A = this chain, B = another copy of it.
Amino acid sequence: MSKSVLLSGSTIGILGGGQLGQMLSMAASRLGFKTHVFEPSANPPASNVSSIFTQAEYDDYKALEQFSSSVDVVTYEFENIPTGALDIIERQCEIFPSREALKISQDRLLEKEFINKLGFKTANFYEVSTQEDLTHAIDQVGTPSILKTRRFGYDGKGQLKLESASQAEDIWKESSAKDLILEGFVNFSREFSVIGSRSKDGQISCFDPGENVHKEGILRTTTVPANLTVQQKTEAVLITAKILESLNYVGVIGIEFFLEKNSLVINEFAPRVHNSGHWTQNGCTVDQFEQHIRAITGWKLGNAERHSDIIMENLIGDDIYKTNKLVADGSLALHLYGKADVNPGRKMGHFNRIKK
């Protein structure tokens, strides 16, 4: 094997200890790898299934150095990792997916420019740094539109909807951040996503597109197969492959699409395993978590074939209190994250149901 292929028994460093880190860690262990999870908060889900757990802040450079020296490769479960932390880590070991992919996906403006440059559609957008920009942006993009922070948004956070131009002044006052983007509203009929992956030697594999339903900005369900034409699925897969290749990408990527009339509009992508790919845990032999571990360790990718049709449903906040009922329905594949605090909008678990 080449030097860039890690043997079973090597240690994978994971930045972030939430449920994605937890499921990555279990996939790694299933292939005989050890994991070292780095996370600022105490007792995160991933700490229960990692070989080593370091609780430290991302500006604790000493902890980051120790972390990097103890692992053979580093990956992450979320894209908003401070650049300084990555600089420290990169002195000692490789980070996958690459910093280029991370940099682009961290910034809605760069992300949309990158996608457009490849020839693919996004919502109309306009950069906004001042109130004058906003006025001008509304002229260009129209209403309804959404004012979003360029960075650090997730699950609908950092977004304000603009119904008409007259709201501009109020919206501007309401927004604390000044590093913004105004996005035109996409009048979509469906939302779906493709979980793609690319290995170190350029092998590309995509799971079947999943159809997503969001509520209050948070993913609620993913259904596979998605109600799309073969042509639409093919186009989505080709777009995914093109993005992966342009970035010389290694790992799993989650790309969110809108279907607007008959055309595909890319909403955003995440350089990591993705909530809308959880269905693969019970629908495929090799799931998105294992696929990611295979990619970043230089292994061949698994076959992304689907053996079962699946509906994935998230358990958000209070939903966790219906666990009893879900357990009693013995045909569900439950995935509970073991989070102690139940907050509105917090992802507490999910379940997959095989469709008959």
Residues of chain A touching chain B, judged by Cβ–Cβ distance below 8 Å, are 1, 8-9, 22, 25-26, 29-35, 45, 47-51, 205, 282, 285-286, 294, 299-303, 305, 307-308, 323-324, 327-328, 330-340, 349, 352, 354
User: Are A31 and B336 also in contact (CB < 8 A) when A47-B51, A51-B48, A305-B331 are?
Assistant: yes
> This chain: how many copies in the complex?
2
Q: Determine the chain B residues whose CB is within 8 A of the CB of A34 once the complex forms.
A: 48, 338
* B29 engages A48 (CB within 8 Å): yes
Chain B residues near A308: list those with CB within 8 A.
307-308
Q: A47-B51, A338-B9 are in contact. Are A327 and B300 (CB under 8 A)?
A: yes
CA separation between A29 and B335, bound complex, in Å? 9
Cβ contact within 8 Å between A26 and B1: no
Are A286 and B47 closer than 8 Å at their CB atoms?
no
**Across the interface, which residues of B come within 8 angstroms of A307, CB to CB?**
307-308, 354
Main secondary structure of the interface of A (DSSP, over half): mixed
Residues of chain B within 8 A of A26, CB atoms compared: 26, 29-30, 49
In the bound complex, CA of A325 to CA of B128 (Å):
53
Q: Contact at A33–B338, with CB atoms within 8 Å?
A: yes
Q: Report B-chain residues with C-beta under 8 Å of the C-beta of A51.
A: 47-48
User: Is the beta-carbon distance between B31 and A334 smaller than 8 angstroms?
Assistant: yes
B8 touches A336 (CB 8 A): yes
**Are B303 and A334 touching (Cβ within 8 A)?**
no
In the complex, are the beta carbons of B330 and A30 less than 8 A apart? no
- What residues of B have a CB within 8 angstroms of the CB of A299 in the complex? 327
CB of A319 to closest CB in B, whole Å: 13
Task: Known A9-B340, A336-B8, A349-B32; judge A330-B354 contact (CB<8 A).
Answer: no
Question: What residue of chain B has the Cβ atom nearest to residue A28's Cβ?
Answer: B48
> Whole-angstrom distance between the alpha carbons of A302 and B327 in the complex?
7
Give chain B nearest CB distance to A55 CB in angstroms.
14
Q: Check B327 against A294 for contact (C-beta < 8 Å).
A: yes
Tell me the complex Cα distance, A324–B333, Å. 30
Using Cβ atoms and an 8 Å threshold, which residues of chain B touch A334? Answer: 30-31
The distance from the CB of A238 to the nearest CB of chain B, in whole angstroms, is 21
A-B pairs with beta carbons under 8 Å apart, 14 shown: A8-B336, A29-B338, A30-B336, A31-B336, A32-B336, A32-B338, A49-B50, A205-B330, A300-B327, A301-B330, A302-B330, A302-B331, A303-B331, A307-B354
